[in-house]
Amino acid sequence: MENKGSVLMKRYELGRLLGQGTFAKVYHARSLKTGQSVAIKVIDKERILKVGLDEQIKREISVMRLVKHPNIVQLYEVMASKSKIYFVIEYAKGGELFNKVAKGKLKEDVARKYFQQLISAVDFCHSRGVYHRDLKPENLLLDENENLKVSDFGLSALAESKRQDGLLHTTCGTPAYVAPEVINRKGYDGAKADVWSCGVILYVLLAGFLPFHDSNLMEMYRKIGKGEFKCPNWFPMEVRRLLSKILDPNPNTRISITKIKDNSWFRKGLTSISTTEREIKEHAPMEADSLFSPSENSAVAAEPNQELVRPNNLNAFDIISLSAGFNLSGLFDENVHKREARFTSKEPVSAIISKLVEVARLLKLKVKKKSGGLLKLEGSKEGRKGVISIDAEIFEVTPSFHMVEVKKSSGDTPEYQQILRQDIKPVLSDIVLNWQGDLPQR
């Protein structure tokens, strides 16, 4: 139970309840180490498993690791107990932007400032291959300096979510803010859909009410589909023109973020680009060399590796789930018999690859380099269950700390276990810091 005044994981003192939804509660909390105010999102593990929201939680953690920006709520770390998952996030003291709008329309310069910050954050997300898909005033928070912070990436999509046609196909978001192509379910460009939502938000900030609204949901969808809306008489002509380009029901002719940023109305009072870039750089990624110790649960955003073969970055959920003494491997995949072993190494990617190639040469296996730090070691001799094939995937935890997962992708399990035990482990011994997992005996 989370009660006010209770201490969580010997690190945070919980305060008042800030809000709650179906699967989570958000509390104000204070770091015992630094005294810093944070917000802690407490997620009920059993409930999300029951309704299959585990992938959404993993995605939210992964996405928040990717997007470090002054106008995006920062994820500090993720922790877990037997029954709960805890997101420790930046505390936005000003609450939801929705509460401001609920009192009435905002002044033009105030609305423009929030819109500028929203576009800056969304543009940054898109540059990282992240599409929010649920932008609305309730998901826009304000800090103590009245600066906007985009939050709630639970429905966001990564670029990898696209199908072969390059489009997203999951209908999500809040009806009044959703782009017509999302409603039509024919596939949509996540960036263009986010632009539409930004346009609806701009309208709401300046008007105090929605551009598309009807008590009949289907009638509202019809209006959205035709881009049928009217601007109040107090809207400046520049804003009307901009909104007509943003709320264009045809995604192919809808204005892009680049052109929004070039718009004369948008640029009024805008701080220099260099200031924004400097602020982004100041959000340096967190690093932890002792990720596999029981006491370290930090979410990590590793710097990019400059090696020829670039490894995958581990997202925060991966790191936590693999931490010794804090293993969440059974959290979402129960009763799965794993056929993999993992080791950590402080050697550069090139040295790890050289050793894996040496292993392949000794075993007379062919080496195929794939994208994302994956190497396939394939044999030529047909076994009882086909040709032996071993995948070795390199993950970057920090630039000087890697994890490698070795697993059988085809062939006989006993043969693979023997190769791992008698050949692979001995050859790799001089680059291995620690083997984190071993194969189950069968």
Cα 127 to Cα 193: distance, rounded to the nearest angstrom: 15
Pairing of strands 366-369, 340-345: unpaired
**214 catalytic residue (yes or no):** no
Give one DSSP letter per residue of 161-210, joined into a string: G--TTS-B----S-GGG--HHHHHTS-B-HHHHHHHHHHHHHHHHHHSS-
CA–CA distance from 213 to each of 111, 216, 219, 415 (Å)?
A: 21, 9, 8, 65
Q: How many CA atoms lie within 13 A of 268 on its CB side?
A: 13
Q: Which residue has the tokens 């209006």?
A: 223
Backbone torsions φ then ψ of 249, nearest 5 degrees:
-65, -15
Among candidate residues 44, 54, 109, 134, the one labeled active-site is 134
Q: What is the distance between the terminal CA atoms of the chain, rounded to a whole angstrom?
A: 40
Closest CA to 201 of 274, 91, 100, 71: 100
Q: Which residue has the tokens 């697993």?
A: 407
Cα 128 to Cα 342: distance, rounded to the nearest angstrom: 28
CA–CA distance from 191 to each of 161, 262, 347 (Å)?
A: 13, 17, 38
Closest CA to 389 of 407, 364, 369, 373: 407
How deeply is 125 buried, as exposed, middle or buried, from its count of CB atoms within 10 A (0-12, 13-18, 19+)?
Answer: buried
Closest CA to 285 of 394, 396, 398: 398
Tell me how crowded residue 171 is: count the other CB atoms within 10 A of its CB. Answer: 12
Question: Which residues pair with residue 27 across a beta bridge?
Answer: 17, 40
Amino acid at 164: Q
Q: Are 193 and 182 in contact (CB under 8 A)?
A: yes
Q: Are 190 and 133 in contact (CB under 8 A)?
A: yes
Closest CA to 279 of 73, 123, 13, 69: 69
Residues assigned a catalytic role: 134
